[in-house]
Amino acid sequence: MLQKKWVLSMALVASLSFMTGCSATAEPEAAPASSSAAVEAAPSDAASPTPDLAGVPEIVATVNGEEITKADFTRIYEGQFAQVLQQAQLSGQELDQGQLRKQTAEGLVNTELLIQQAAKKKVFATSKDLDAALADVAKSNDMDAKEFLATMDAQGLNEDAVRAQLKTQLEVERLISKEVGDFRPSEKETKAAYQVVLDQFKKQATTDKDATKDAPKAPSYKTMKPELEQQLKLQKEAAAVKDYVAVLRKDAKVTMNM
């Protein structure tokens, strides 16, 4: 069987991971405020940490008889490591890899539970669905489907593997939409999130001694609105998915080896 359970979008696995360690709310504390500006302002560190997989067992966990292997874990952990490290550095915190490993393992267990539930609920994606999803993924990477498949093949995933991965992702996304629902933020919530962005820019300007009139300014509300709406939607959805997965875990046989 293809390693279908580890091919869901990293955002989903990450959200299921970090939801185990903190409760999500609709508060826009992590709004994508000046994400590009913040990255530019982040100091470079030649001695940045690297992924530490010491102590990760060959079988990380078992979910209703399905094994999560070290190889499965490693792909997700290494894939999200750079982003998580950057977020920690931007917030001035030291990355706790022990905690990150635990959260990643929990996220993978939760993801497997969703995959199994999608099969139980007979949520399926058709060949037509896969063609459309493949075209969308290719377009998001500024390629056509043929170019995208060639790129993936060079990375060790042939067309059958890519389609299997897309199929799993589509089915889980549809399960979530069916069982959890679609959450759309209100205009009030979106404007509150934008105010957080403005406050962050103001704080940066007042604390930066070298700030000048050429310092970056916050994008307009109109410009940021789609990004803010998407983030708020994901926050609400993540909170609901956490509750849904918690119900699934009550009836599941899960063995954690980390």
- pLDDT mean across residues, the chain: 82
pLDDT of residue 204: 79
Cα angle 134, 135, 141; round to 5: 95
pLDDT, tens only, 46-104: 568 999 999 999 999 999 999 999 998 998 898 889 888 998 888 889 999 999 999 99
pLDDT of residue 20: 52
This prediction has a pTM of 0.70
Closest CA to 30 of 187, 191, 193, 189: 193
Please list the ranges in the chain whose pLDDT falls under 70.
Answer: 1-47, 207-215
pLDDT of residue 223: 95
pLDDT of residue 4: 38
pLDDT of residue 31: 44
Percent of the chain, pLDDT > 90?
50
Residues 118 and 172: beta-carbon distance below 8 Å: yes
pLDDT, tens only, 21-38: 444 334 444 444 444 434
Closest CA to 166 of 187, 196, 135, 144: 135
Kindly list the domain boundaries of the chain, sorted by start residue: 122-179
DSSP E strands: which ranges in the chain?
59-63, 66-69, 254-256
Whole-angstrom Cα distance, residue 52 to residue 196? Answer: 34
pLDDT of residue 27: 45
